[in-house]
Structure 1
Amino acid sequence: MTLERNRPDEVRTQGMPAPEQVPSGPRTAVSAAVARRLFHAAVARLDITVVEEPTGRTLGRGGPLMRLHRPDEFYARVGRDGLIGFGEAYLTGAWDADDLAGFLTVPAARMATLVPEPLQRLRALVTPRLPSHHRSTEDNSQANISHHYDLSNDLFALFLDETLSYSSALFDTSFTPTGKGPGSVGDHLVATPPEPTDTADPARHHPDLAEAQGRKIERLLDEAGVTDGTRVLEIGTGWGELAIRAARRGASVHTITLSVEQLELAEDRIAAAGFADRVHVELMDYRALAATGATYDAVVSVEMIEAVGHEFWGTYFATIDRVLAPGGRVAVQAITMPHDRMLATRDTHTWITKYIFPGGFLPSVEVIDQVTRSETTLRLTGQLALGSHYAETLRRWDRRFLAQRDAVLDLGFDDLFMRVWHFYLAYSQAGFASGYLDVSQLTFTREDR
């Protein structure tokens, strides 16, 4: 189905709802005591420093500093809600860190082993499940996307570069071949980590970020074989930069999105670039593509699969397979996690799904290869991993976001929103800096029948 453009009366800039109060009672007392013991045991194995106030007790082996301002609240929240409670305790100010991303990077590198293995087996019994209204069905998907991307175009413009690219950049570094990847992957390249670079004014970006975003897009277009006359489908418009660059190559572009705010600004940017006749932007769920009967020489999608949901990965790739013309190519940029962690965390409700991306879930490269091999004629033939580049991209976004605090508040957001987004950006940066998360450009071609 093609969705109706239903713009809200005003942009949702009222800030985030406050975290719930921790209930008192025996259950909270017991779970807090367990959380305290597990946290102390984990910290004792980590290169961090944790200071419990007001006693001044110090934990850890030394390293990035975390201050527990209200330990009782912290342990109660973690005991009741696990990692969601950990993040919410930051939002309430129960703990803080001067270098939030640096601190979070240390435990992120040991995420799979911080909880003793016998307790990990109980995960399914104690971990909250993803709410049904967050699942990325056709009925829910537009609301899920709107929750994040329709906050305010002006907000995103405050910390993104001038290309308005909200995905990992690709800085000017070399690629290292690492041999074969999982399954049928052919060329498997890893991008050399970039050198951190900043402007003197943290509210401004170094110009190489926009160049790096352009490099990322141009490589995807090259991988998809986009040239003059190519019929391109883009799943997930963003704010239109990829569509503009594809049209500049002489391609005709059909780009779809579920974000009303992004659609409107993308159309304006495309028209201003002089490509309104080459690019058609449409508010559409990817599942509706098959019914259109259209086919494309190239399909490109940048960091959209994360919103699909694991139940629908087969549908997503089968749809791409169905609309891809003979000889066509597919290039997807995807955030991924290790396969074993992906299997262990399916259907889990997390801090990220609660506050940032309802319905979001990260695949592994292995499961992408498995799904495409079993349910489509697409074959994964190339991979460029650039997780270190996402860590640097996020570091720059977070630095600029914090420097734009007054401008963010002027848009109608509040201090809680600032803490939510700082934690989100730092938490994400830590995931990539530690290697727990990765992002790859994946190339697919069709197997001959």
Structure 2
Amino acid sequence: MQESMDAIVMRNVVKSFRKRTIRGEYTTFKSELLRWLRGKRQPREAGLITALRGIDLTIPKGSTVGIIGRNGSGKSTLLKLITGIYAPTSGSLEINGRISALLDLGAGFHPDFSGRENILINGIILGMSRAEVKARMNDIIAFSELGEFIDEPVRTYSSGMYMRLAFAVATHVDPDILIIDEILAVGDEHFSKKSLAKMMDFKRQGKTIVLVTHDMSAVERWCDLAAWIDGGIIRRVGRPSEVAAEYRQAVALAEAQSTVFTPPALTEGGGALPQLSAVAQPSEGPVRHLQVRLTDGRGEDVRAPAPEQALEVRVGYELERATEDVEFVVSFQMPDGRVVYETSTRREAVALSGLPSPGVVRFVVERLGLLGGTYALVVTARAARGSCTARCTFEVAATLEEQGVFRPPHRWVVEPAHEEQVGGALRQDVLARAEVG
């Protein structure tokens, strides 16, 4: 069996929690017992809170991935699914390799045990033998820089000491996948630099690192891939600089609109940030101010098209100077950047001589054909002297339980088999076998 090249594969993962109500009035055991005997017991369950809403995410082995998004958008829930603390409500989750995680500060430590004893316990929990943990004990203690405090109960530790011990254990048990949830924000400058150097060593060894952080500069600086979670869904996966730019613009737009944030799990629509009409990358060519909109036939913006719906991709542009060699490329992509469909004016021999400025190029789609999910629409205006790219994300709303990416036009036919057709097929099969023999 061929070894998978992906460390983590999530397919349509949903995570919901049971929502419970708490009675407002004061109660006693006697009053609750009487209520129950009289058949007036109030049901405690009151629906579900959905934190993750169909996550599709693939993390290649050896990559460093930054998970970004607002507080309450589902980042920590995602990490707890990966580490096995939670189980998915539905969907599939595949992990290839030993995982070590730094989640909640001090998680997994027994407060009454010493640091040394907790190292042994955590190492065994993470899959190492007692002999392996003891062989690495001195290295872990030296890295943590706890000195004589290593034999004191961890309940006496400061938050910084907790973090040092947790990081030392997590990075010295030889994991294939390291999961970190903002824990590096705790600690002094010396240990932060030491931790970063250790993680860079992990990268050189080809380890997989998944980091949840609000530090966009850190994601842009040393992550290979970024995933933006918004409203319990993956809004976009791609190059860190591009994902961070789109995230910042969406947050700025929400602030400008004075949008009040509600945790996504508590809102029907997921508490998502406003959709952007397009995010344009800096232009180096003759085309400036590229803007992309997904509309219906009347020119109205479409937020959640259906698979059978007709659409138009409207590309607004402005030329800095007259040009004859511009090519417009339209690409429908998955959140991780995989191309679903792509074409261009050059490939289809569309004449673009004498382009007006400003102007609009319309790409008319008679039938979308995509199944339900999150997609990216990327449009590039390309010329010999440079290019300009704009993108937007959209959701396809589908009610049928189909799998895959696209929905080809089709119909079902059920009919009885005719005897002569069956006989003819058998005769052809016999002749074919005779010729081969």
State the TM-score, normalizing by the size of structure 1: 0.26
State the structure with more CA Rg.
Answer: 2
Higher helix fraction: Structure 1 or Structure 2?
A: 1
State the TM-score, normalizing by the size of structure 2: 0.26
* Structure possessing the higher relative contact order (Cα contacts under 8 Å, 6 or more residues apart): 1
